[in-house]
Amino acid sequence: MSMFENDQYRWRETYFVLFHSGNRPKLSAVEKALHQLDARYQLANSDANEDGLFDSLTLISPDDFAAIDICYTEGDEVREQVRDLTVELRPMAREAGCEAQLKQMNSCDARFDVLHFEEISESPEDDDDVLDDALDPSALLLVMAELAKLTGGVAVDPQSGTIF
């Protein structure tokens, strides 16, 4: 079940971790790494292929008022997206000194979609300002860094054009 189906959360943004499909980790390795980041993270909806390789999972971080869906994709769709992203990100990557990561992206044929969700307050008088103050991006940043480390990949925020 995706967090899109959970009315206690709303989607905020989607990030990517781009990597070579040969570096796709086993589900057990991803789960272990995420638990080591913070023992309070709750993992759900874990799924692997027949070889035990990661397909998807949901991480819930109650302390951050956040949840994260992580899904694996590979193939032509990813290669096409990487071509588009490298063109789009080139100017900002040069300014930020991220040329090596941009070059590395060219060999990527797989990605993790990292969908960030915020927990919605049950109180009807809460407005967006209160929710924005409650949502903490710490879990997202830690998870992105760990997934990039596990895969030898590059973490990207396509909305802002940022390479982590």
pLDDT tens column, 39-48:
999 999 999 9
User: Which regions of 49-109 does DSSP assign to beta strands (E)?
Assistant: 54-61, 66-74
pLDDT of residue 125: 55
Condensed to tens digits (0 to 9), the pLDDT of residues 82-92 reads: 999 999 998 88
Condensed to tens digits (0 to 9), the pLDDT of residues 63-120 reads: 999 999 999 999 999 999 999 999 999 888 887 788 899 999 999 999 999 999 999 9
Contacts for 6 with CB less than 8 Å, ≥ 6 apart: 67, 117
**What is the reported pTM?**
0.89
pLDDT of residue 62: 93
d(Cα 160, Cα 5) in Å, to the nearest integer?
26
Residues 111 and 16 sit within 8 Å (Cβ to Cβ)? yes
d(Cα 118, Cα 125) in Å, to the nearest integer?
17
